[in-house]
A and B are shown apart, each in its own frame.
Chain A
């Protein structure tokens, strides 16, 4: 799909403010005020929408030493012995297909392969914060704590306004911080 072109950095030089306005404009402005009083007082350029979270992650139970890898979305069948499960969910995307394979690999204990498949997904969608997070989880399970932390921070930098994902990443970062040798 073509991405809509965005101009987050465009800084317009404004022309002088029109000082004369008629009543209609005044009324429009007053209406606008009502809308705008709810907005922040600073100009915020349009930001990139939060990257779509492909599969809803479960919240982190505190006492567990290792984080649980993301559960599949409801429509997907549970991972079976086949190496690449067929995408059953409607409109499977390349990322969701690969994530399903990542889960299978991790469930089978093949963490290296899980990481390789996560990276394959990242090459397709490099701005997907959830994918970086999934890779960080795998590195954590592999006890590669330095890389897990780095990757988690990368995920955080892309999480935008996805508060749920940010919380999960921060939880992981805390665990790494406390548990790393």
Chain B
């Protein structure tokens, strides 16, 4: 029968579709049909899988956001302790722009002793600070007056804090997520003009664009144009596989179509705005335009001008190639291409176009510490680790508000290396190193920290980890323990004479004064002021070393020093931060506040999560601390810190203590004013001798820093139990031999007044006494 093809037909029968003699034994059409069927099914399966993948991944698109760490915000009010220059430096760190009109947020103007500014506002952990216009007049290192808009009253203004660091996710990406309505429309126009002109009309891929690109590439003989849409670029950015194989491109095209099927243009555009890779900053990748605005221009996205937005839009094509910080000419050229396209599309007027093309590139200045504040940050992480694990810090976008005072930290860093160099010995084998801790005298907040003498040093953090014997810094604990007992007063006569103390192993400890001299009978206050070792041992042994250890612990020492007599002269090891804790308690008149680096933590949207408030515990008798303070101030006036008077003489009274260890291996100074406590340590990492005492080394560095920080004099309230009495200037053990021709006033606890035999009241006549009163009141 005709018409039926059969592989087994006899050669005699002719059929119109007989297979050719060379064909194999199967049927091509069926093979083709099967091939088509299965490949279509496979393709369809692949599409379904892609569709599912895209929907799942895109819907769950939650970027891991780094924790952001902020400095302490500057507070402005009449009398605030900040100079005009420091305020301007701070505003520049915030990316404020100079402008004559000060019309928009983030602008300021500087005149003679005057600053006008408009703040951006900020959401703090304790409330929202609204954006505000303010005018400030300065008077040296203080704000003289503060006024609001139209000379209205403004009592207090809190500036935004500076973001000093981020804790980046393991992806290394960083971004400031924005909603589409937070993106300036000019930026949207710019992006569409340069990347994907038919964004709103295509469905994921743009055939016209592809055709145009192919034509351009053929004409040019190479790849000069890509035809990918924003959607395709978004896919490319989201899925990190950057291999541009044909299969990959096809996959991306399908994914783009799938994305457009399930998500709106707005959603896709928003994702693009936040996802596009726009630069690298050290170990963090800059994604999204909002962060790029901060990174390149130092200002928020909504403060940028059209030409700056156009520049950002152009970077997306090649972040390294068009990096405006490194290749400004390329960046400007690219910006002008974007502006041209925008102009062609009618997005900007002729005037804007002309001005934009001529606009000068004004990128962010490399202000502040590019290396960050690693020593302080270690303390921050240490504080945080109690409550937050590193995962939460890397992904949740937490905001961490610290106590770091940027102005103080920068001042310390600016002066420290030079100050150390000034006291360093010329022929030292290893460099003289240092640690500095500056805290608020009243609240225990850490204001500045240096782990070494170099700015931004990120090696061994000596402030937190250098454990050294503290030498004479221990003495205030000895004297406080004594003054808290009823048996001692500032006028107690001590014996500064040679002494031998038998040790457990049979040898004898024979302490010496630093100058190897002995002073005989000395007053208790004088022994502390001049740091006399022998008198201190005399006192400490009578008070009892365990009592001294207990006082040290009350002051904030958490270690486990053993109560050997050598502890009285400082054979106890501490880090500079531990020393700062002890002197913090003294500066607060016997109220201990644990040192803190973190103030508060909020979520990414500003809800408070944790707040570390001021803690204060009374750990010492206020009258005893007042008496101790008299001697601690005397350290400057008459004692071992006299040498600082030529630097700091106009800021007395200050209080402090020098510390020197055996063979001059460590040079310490710990001191405080009304506002700040500072601890300085000098030494060599290899523990060789420095050739410096506390007075010739650390004190000088301390004085230089405190002058720069403008430390304020001590102002303390005298407790009710305190009474002042006159005693002979020179102590004598025998009352009959006292000489009241020279007398001095000392404070006493009124329950422990010196006996009349030892004061200088009794022998004077009534007139003499009255004249003394008259005279002393007038001084």
Contact = CB atoms under 8 A, between A and B. Distances in A.
29 contacts: A1-B79, A2-B139, A6-B713, A10-B779, A11-B745, A12-B779, A13-B744, A14-B744, A17-B764, A17-B772, A29-B767, A29-B771, A39-B773, A43-B745, A43-B776, A48-B717, A94-B75, A94-B78, A96-B155, A98-B156, A112-B611, A113-B126, A115-B611, A122-B614, A123-B445, A150-B615, A157-B590, A157-B591, A158-B717
Interface string B438-472: 00111101000000000000000000000000000
Contacts of B142: 2
B127 A47 contact: no
B546 interface: no
Nearest to B766: A33
Contacts of B503: none
A42 B779 contact: no
Interface string B728-746: 0100000000000111111
B58 interface: no
B37 interface: no
Chain A interface residue bracket vs B: 35 or more
Interface string B111-149: 000000000000001111000000000010010000000
Interface of B: 75, 77-80, 125-128, 139, 142, 153, 155-156, 440-443, 445, 589-591, 600, 608, 611, 613-618, 622, 629-630, 633-634, 652-653, 674-675, 712-719, 723-726, 729, 741-746, 764, 767-768, 770-777, 779
Given A2-B79, A3-B712, 4 more contacts: A9-B653, A29-B774, A39-B773, A157-B622
A61 interface: no
A29 B723 contact: no
Contact of A43 (B618, B724, B741): B724
Contacts of B767: 29
A24 to B, nearest CB: 14
B128 A43 contact: no
A103 interface: no
Given A44-B724, A117-B126, A119-B614, A17 B768 contact: yes
A115 B613 contact: yes
Contacts of B156: 94, 97-98, 124
A87 B616 CA distance: 30
Contacts of A109: none
A94 to B, nearest CB: 4
Given A7-B653, A9-B653, A123 B443 contact: yes
A160 B729 CA distance: 30
A126 B677 CA distance: 14
A126 B212 CA distance: 70
Contacts of A160: 717
Contact of B127 (A97, A117, A153): A117
Contacts of B75: 94, 120, 123-124
A14 B716 contact: no
A32 B772 CA distance: 12
B773 A151 contact: no
A119 B614 CA distance: 7
B615 A157 contact: no
B724 A16 contact: no
A116 B746 CA distance: 41
A38 B397 CA distance: 67
B442 A122 contact: yes
Contacts of B764: 17
B742 A151 contact: no
A7 B616 contact: no
Given A36-B770, A47-B717, A160-B717, A124 B742 contact: no
Given A7-B652, A32-B774, A98-B156, A157 B589 contact: yes
Given A13-B743, A92-B153, A150-B617, A48 B611 contact: no
A159 to B, nearest CB: 8
Contacts of B443: 119, 122-123, 126
A93 interface: yes
A115 B614 CA distance: 10
Contacts of A97: 155-156
B126 A17 contact: no
A115 B296 CA distance: 39
B773 A36 contact: yes
Please name the 9 residue pairs, one residue from A and one from B, whose CB atoms are nearest each other, closest first: A126-B442, A116-B126, A94-B156, A94-B77, A97-B155, A92-B155, A11-B745, A43-B724, A17-B768
A153 to B, nearest CB: 5
B770 A116 contact: no
B493 to A, nearest CB: 17
Contacts of B80: 124
B442 A48 contact: no
A154 B613 contact: no
Contacts of A2: 79, 139, 142
A134 interface: no
Contact of B613 (A13, A119, A126): A119
Nearest to A139: B613
B77 A124 contact: yes
A106 to B, nearest CB: 13
Contacts of A158: 717
A154 B618 contact: yes
Nearest to B158: A120
B608 A112 contact: yes
Contacts of A115: 611, 613
A65 interface: no
A43 B773 contact: yes
A124 B75 CA distance: 8
Contacts of B771: 17-18, 29
A111 to B, nearest CB: 11
Nearest to B720: A161
Contacts of B723: 42, 44
Nearest to A32: B774
A128 to B, nearest CB: 10
A154 B744 contact: no
Given A14-B743, A33-B770, A45 B611 contact: no
B78 A48 contact: no
A101 B630 CA distance: 39
A159 B717 CA distance: 8
Contacts of A120: 75, 126
Interface in A79-106: 83-84, 87, 92-94, 96-98, 101
Contacts of A6: 713, 715
A160 B153 CA distance: 31
Contacts of B77: 93-94, 124
A90 to B, nearest CB: 9
B433 to A, nearest CB: 32
A112 B602 CA distance: 13
A45 B718 CA distance: 9
Given A1-B79, A39-B773, A8 B718 contact: yes
B171 to A, nearest CB: 34
A141 interface: no
The residue among B590, B724, B725 with the most chain A CB atoms within 10 A of its own CB is B724
Interface string A14-52: 101110000000000100110010010011110110000
Contacts of A116: 125-126, 600, 611, 613
The residue among A11, A14, A39, A159 with the most chain B CB atoms within 10 A of its own CB is A11
Contacts of A112: 608, 611
B652 to A, nearest CB: 7
Nearest to B588: A154
Contacts of B79: 1-2
Contact of B716 (A8, A10, A12, A135): A8
A11 B779 CA distance: 10
A32 B126 CA distance: 56
Contacts of B779: 10, 12
A3 B651 CA distance: 12
